[in-house]
Structure 1
Amino acid sequence: MKTARLTTVTLEKSADVARLRDVAMTLTNVLQFGAFERTRTVTAVVELGRNAIEHGQKGRATFSLIEVNGKSALGLLVTDQGRGIPKGNLAPDGPPASSTGMGLGLRGVQRIAARFDVDTGHEGTRIDAAFLPSAALRASPQLIDQATGALDELSAKDPTAALSEQNRELAESIADRDLLMQELHHRTGNNLALIVALIRMSKSQAEQDETQQVLTELEVRVGSLAKAHELMQRGADAGQVDLAEMLDEVAKTSERAFSGGGLSASIEVSCDELQLDSKFAIDIGLIVGELITNAFKHAFVGRDQGLIRVEVTGDPMQGIALLVSDNGVGLPPDAERPERSNSLGWRMIRTLTFQHDATLTVDGTNGMSLQIKFPPQS
């Protein structure tokens, strides 16, 4: 028979020891431990549980049905998050591990157990123990069913304890998930920063103007995503982004990316205090990045200076207006309308505008002015 996990008891407070004792009594009864064996085994289980609470800060005891020397046995895995067990406590004459326990100490538990393995260090302790009854019960699926049924009956007698255990298991699962998500976001942020650095490095080594231009545009796009990701993780609400701070960074990234050559253009950002849904904020940041890129590429032909303005007004409930303008050459009357351009940047602008049911207006009579009005966000 393979190891059959039966139940887990969280060890945080003294009341958990009572639950641990009840589970141990129930399972030793199913495995037909004799009275003396049951007392010794339950005492050993309680000793390990108390140690985990007192010295391990927080622990967990997992019971299972296992096989030892061809016999069914009670398996117990106790883990905690403490600083480890001092070597003196593992010595044959070491002190009891629990000041409020039965005085067994770890060596006492080891003498009772049929198997007793300790793995301890600064990250915590893991004790894997097994207890054998004198009765030679054969391992079988029926025995597992009996143990499961007995535990169900125990939970029915004390539904509050069972519900409390389930709630704590759920809370631990949520905490574990949140920890994994934090690690995922951390790695994503590092990867985005690395990509931006690689783009800049490649741009500095590129010899063709066209290649440098493509890499510059890519730097602005990825830089916008990287800043949005950073703001999401830094904010109190991971689903919200400070739009003003994000647009300031988009402007700085664009100025840095397009610096050099004979053009000196500055970017002014004016944005109401807005906390937006992360996707909405990222989309606005991408649009602004593309419009700034277009201004650097086309607005200041034949000039050595220029000014680009980014203005955002309104709020999510009433609607938001985005205005990106420049004091450049504007749009000649016979020129092709830029909003119908098939370039990647304009396709992105049109797609993101359409996704938010926004309206786009372009005026090229006095410099270039592009306004996007986003409807109220539901």
Structure 2
Amino acid sequence: MSADQRSVTDFVTRLLPGLSRSLAEEFNVFRVMHHGTHEKQLSNVFAWLMREDATHELGDVFQRIFLSRVNGALSQERKLPATGYRVFQEVQTESDEQSGMDIADLLLVRSDAALAIENYGTSDGHGHDYYRYLAHAAGDRRRAVVVLLCMRHMPHLLKDGWEQAVVVTYSELLSDLKNYVARDRSWRGRHPEQHFFLQQMFHQFVEGPAAVNLDDQLAFIKIMCETGESSRYGASRRDRAAEEFADIVAEHARRQFEEGRRTLRQVKASLRDFARTQLLDQVNKALGVDHFDRVTSNWQGQWEWSVKLGRASDDDAHVTLRFGPTAVTTVDWTPGLVSTPDYSRIFVADSPRKEGFRVISQTEVTLSEAIAGLGPDDLRLRDAVLKAIPAD
């Protein structure tokens, strides 16, 4: 790893706790409901905004905003009427039997013009047929445009005809709507519920999560200065400097996350091997009976990072070695059993019950020791497992 890579890696490592804390502290209805994580969810919201008679009580404002953005990317002769469209969702585009079926997320139609809209996270046709969209929108001699409505405009993904589509981002559209709403005091006063909903949408898709806490902002500046990144504040092109910096941080954060998963898999494999070759015999010998007869590690999700000692005759009677994210879930499930958890170590827990765990113990075995391999004379995990076995 080069010196520059180490610098950015150190920066990301020190910065992430503050960013995650800020994200966790912010309320937003879209994040609470996990809404907007799938294109169909946001298509519902955009369709609602585009319908003139919908409960937002904005009339054709959003249609005009949308068409203004689309027309801004078209030549004079291709521009479309600014309003008067009916709005449809999940529209099957016309096709012959050989070309198959396709579905447009949104379709705006009037007698002389139409827009077929593909809504996706990135500006990518992701397998849809641009020309089929265009032909369906054109219908019987209508002026037609295909639009990619997306969160991120990534030109290099536009291919197979989609490079001819008009790309409109959520941020652009919602920024225009935000500015309109800010000017219309009368609408805000008459429609506080709709205004609250739109504010939440603006915050989620325009402004983004913000580290509003002053201490977090000052800590960010301090880390920038200490890690050699502060010169970015002096760049003449601030928007470009911010984007480049965000891309670097995102790439290093992604790399650290992926390498973290690989490390967790290493810990799991090493613990599983130790349990099968050493720990099972250590525990049974100490008990004087074959209490456990199998080792499994096939759980997924929040329980994935664990290795279970059990017996075939009673699947509920087991003790589990837990680490990393699974250790966090275990400790959180039964608060108070571990007062100051150190997640660089292996934890041991008994069989869970509805009310939680009876025993959760933090062992002295570290994750790095587990990866390196534990010797046959190392009895620390054995002793922790013995304490977790309930008395008969």
TM-score of the aligned structures, taking structure 2 as reference length: 0.30
Rg (Cα) greater in structure: 1
TM-score of the aligned structures, taking structure 1 as reference length: 0.31
